[in-house]
Amino acid sequence: MALHKHPVLRLALLVTLPLLAGCGVTKHLPGFGDNTSTNLGQGDINPSVFGYVVADEPQAALAARQILNNGGNAADAAAAAGFAMAVTLPSRAGLGGGGACIIKMPAADGSAQPPVTLLFPAGAPAQTGGDRPAAVPTLARGLLALQARYGALPFASVIAPAERLAGGVPVSPALESDLQVVGGALLADPVAASIFGAPGGGVLSAGANLVQPDLATTLEALRTQGVNGFYAGSLSRQFVDGADTAGGGLTVADLNTGLPVFGQPAVSKFDGSTLAFIPTPPNDGHLPASAGFEALDKNGGVVACTTSMNNLFGTGRVAAGTGVLLAVSPRAVTTPLLAAGIAYKGDEFRAAVTGTGQIGAAEAVLDGLANALHKTPTAAVPDLGRANVISCPGGVPGGEASCTANADPRGQGLAVGGQ
């Protein structure tokens, strides 16, 4: 039976489970060494340790792969990928938005732990205001919560690559595609136009230099101060003022409401493996654009995440002085479908999949896992879905030589890794 037609599995996937209470946290650690010196404009990072990263934007995958080389684990790499995508693919993964992750990391003593979810969708403000209501930004809180609980490196090291990319990075084909969709609507906002507009008119094209100095400053505050660098103090007031000017209608109090929540995944069995998913409520309507990234480390730790701005480029407006695109308030749009899943057998990792493609995202995860477990990880999933896959049929730890990674060929992401 095809995995996406498995009745028990489909029920498990589509039922949202109760969530455990969680909170936004900061990991303050002494010392910070900038050892991610690889030129992130190049696609040639030689793996020095085992591990894989797949992301819907190539620069983010390269940044995360370098984190693995530098001694980070899958949680560090995933957090680095998420922060990098806030720079390189803000249309789908900006700091103004949110996301969700499925996580299976070993304990500090190396013992196996059950999978958990981490939910941090862009939230609804206390009251709707402004002519283009914005969501409460949660991406930074979520990524820092992930890294604080499971990461091995100082939190600053997973933000530093994004900060550097904000100083200037070539526009990727993935971002160019999204810019072509929004066109003049994005350029109607003067602040957004100053970032994404081309000197001769129109939007930036692939290969053009994308420079975001205000976003670099925001990331610097996060790198040096942790979660409070964005959600408290002078920067929080600047963000709220900029959002208000852009019609977002947010308050400083709203920033403290969007807290990450660790919880229980939807779990089922298939062909002797255990499958765990981000629970996804059923929805047959149009769903906002999303993006995915995932990482596997040498100990079999795995993190798979998807993100959304609740609309392509969110509200299309930027909070002046911060470089942060504003996501759309969830009161104004359909809730995004944030789909990802992992497969494991006993204590060994088998596969991880992130799904995008709006309404096809959940089935893309199901089909992607089925393909991986049937040793055909590069098989395409049906439209509209897109699946990025890490597959280790021999299991990790122990079967590292069996591993492959694949970015959906119809997308414009990158899979990078190996030994």
The reported pTM is 0.90
Assigned domain for 136 exists: yes
286 pLDDT band, cuts 50/70/90, is low
Average pLDDT over residues 265-269: 96
What is the torsional sign of CA 163, 338, 146, 75?
negative
Average pLDDT over residues 83-93: 98
pLDDT, tens digit, for every residue of 356-400? 998 899 999 999 999 999 999 999 899 889 999 999 999 999 999
| DSSP three-state, residue 96 | coil
86/230 Cα distance (integer angstroms): 14
Short-list 196, 161, 166, 178, CA closest to 45: 161
128/135 Cα distance (integer angstroms): 10
| Beta bridge mates, 318 | 325
17 pLDDT band, cuts 50/70/90, is very low
**C-beta of residue 157 within 8 angstroms of C-beta of residue 198:** no
| Beta bridge mates, 53 | 295, 416
| DSSP three-state, residue 123 | strand
Label residues 165-185 b or e (16+ Cβ within 10 Å = b).
bbeebbbbbbbbebbeebeee
Number of domains the chain contains: 1
Q: Is the pLDDT of residue 15 over 50?
A: no
Element (H, E) at 35: none
- The DSSP call for residue 28 is -
Short-list 15, 55, 13, 127, CA closest to 414: 55
314/324 Cα distance (integer angstroms): 10
Lowest mean pLDDT among 15-29, 228-242, 280-294, 401-415: 15-29
Assigned domain for 280 exists: yes
Q: At what angle do helices 233-245 and 213-225 cross, to 10 degrees?
A: 150
**In whole numbers, what is the pLDDT of the chain averaged over residues?**
88
CA atoms within 13 A on the CB side of 90: 29
276/238 Cα distance (integer angstroms): 40
- What is the predicted pLDDT for the residue at 34? 32
Element (H, E) at 266: strand 266-270
Element (H, E) at 249: none
In this predicted model, which residue has the larger pLDDT, 140 or 25?
140
∠ CA 238-243-246, rounded to 5°: 130
Assigned domain for 342 exists: yes
**C-beta of residue 73 within 8 angstroms of C-beta of residue 105:** yes
- What is the predicted pLDDT for the residue at 284? 53
220 pLDDT band, cuts 50/70/90, is very high
Alpha carbon separation from 352 to 67, 308, 341, 365, 378 (Å, rounded): 19, 19, 6, 9, 13
Assigned domain for 87 exists: yes
Lowest mean pLDDT among 36-40, 230-234, 332-336, 341-345: 36-40
Q: Is the pLDDT of residue 94 over 70?
A: yes
Q: Residue 72 carries which side chain, given as an amino acid letter? A: G
Q: Is the pLDDT of residue 23 over 60?
A: no
352/296 Cα distance (integer angstroms): 8
The range of the structural domain enclosing residue 121 comes to 46-418
230/218 Cα distance (integer angstroms): 7
